[in-house]
Amino acid sequence: DQQVKQNSPSLSVQEGRISILNCDYTNSMFDYFLWYKKYPAEGPTFLISISSIKDKNEDGRFTVFLNKSAKHLSLHIVPSQPGDSAVYFCAASLMNYGGSQGNLIFGKGTKLSVKP
Amino acid sequence: ETGVTQSPTHLIKTRGQQVTLRCSSQSGHNTVSWYQQALGQGPQFIFQYYREEENGRGNFPPRFSGLQFPNYSSELNVNALELDDSALYLCASSLVGGLGPSPLHFGNGTRLTVT
């Protein structure tokens, strides 16, 4: 039973446009959410996070939105660049787990392709 | 700042054998976690170590074990390898006791193939 779901295996966007990646979760106890980006032959790279007390967090071109009532979060990339082409993973955790986010529950990922 | 490093990068083992994977945490981090990523899946939590003790475990059998050393480096040991153990094994480190949540920082992984 997947607790974190990324229902779109792939997404293709034109350079300069907005990329929107979606993620749904089932456990209402999750209180910390993260997005990671992964290139082939590399480990996941942390992008941006949000705690459940917020509904939006911005960092440059990346914005994460959290809708707790819908148990849904999304990552917006504006403007999209070819270098953003990668697999994006959504992850969730309980913030007080051992004081760190060791036990992250990951979705299966969405492969983003940004075309020049 | 030194990132998370893992060795070896690739490994081929035979079913029934044992394997040890190694990880050096990012400098300044004091916890280490291990994840297994099967093809087409997201990483799955194996366990976490803090102060050289296991501090949480996912749904993995006891033949998956680990160690954390005083310098915060870590090992993942898998006994009696099975074909389904073929995966990318990721090590991640973070800081407990800092200001606010500390995201995990991952290494590039060890690709294990069991034949």
Sort out which chain A residues have CB atoms less than 8 A from B106's CB and list them: 36, 43-45
- Flag whether pLDDT at B14 surpasses 80: yes
Strand ranges for chain A from DSSP E: 4-5, 10-14, 19-25, 32-38, 45-51, 56-59, 62-67, 72-77, 86-93, 105-106, 110-115
B84 — pLDDT class (breaks 50, 70, 90) = very high
B88, B104, B110, best to mutate vs chain A, most A CBs in 10 Å: B104
pLDDT score, position A98: 44
Identity of residue A89: F
- Flag whether pLDDT at B89 surpasses 90: yes
Which of A51, A98, A107 comes nearest B42 by C-beta? A107
Tell me the residues of chain B between 51 and 70 that have a Cβ less than 8 Å away from chain A. 55-56, 58
A46·B105 Cβ contact <8 A: yes
Percent of chain A having pLDDT more than 70? 92
B102 — pLDDT class (breaks 50, 70, 90) = confident
- Flag whether pLDDT at B21 surpasses 70: yes
- Flag whether pLDDT at B1 surpasses 70: no
Q: Sign of the C-alpha dihedral, residues A40, B26, B95, B102?
A: negative
Q: In sequence order, which residues have a C-beta less than 8 Å from that of residue A103 and are 6 or more positions away?
A: A93, A94, A97, B33, B45, B48, B56, B58
Percent of chain A having pLDDT more than 90? 81
A100·B101 Cβ contact <8 A: yes
Average pLDDT over residues A76-98: 88
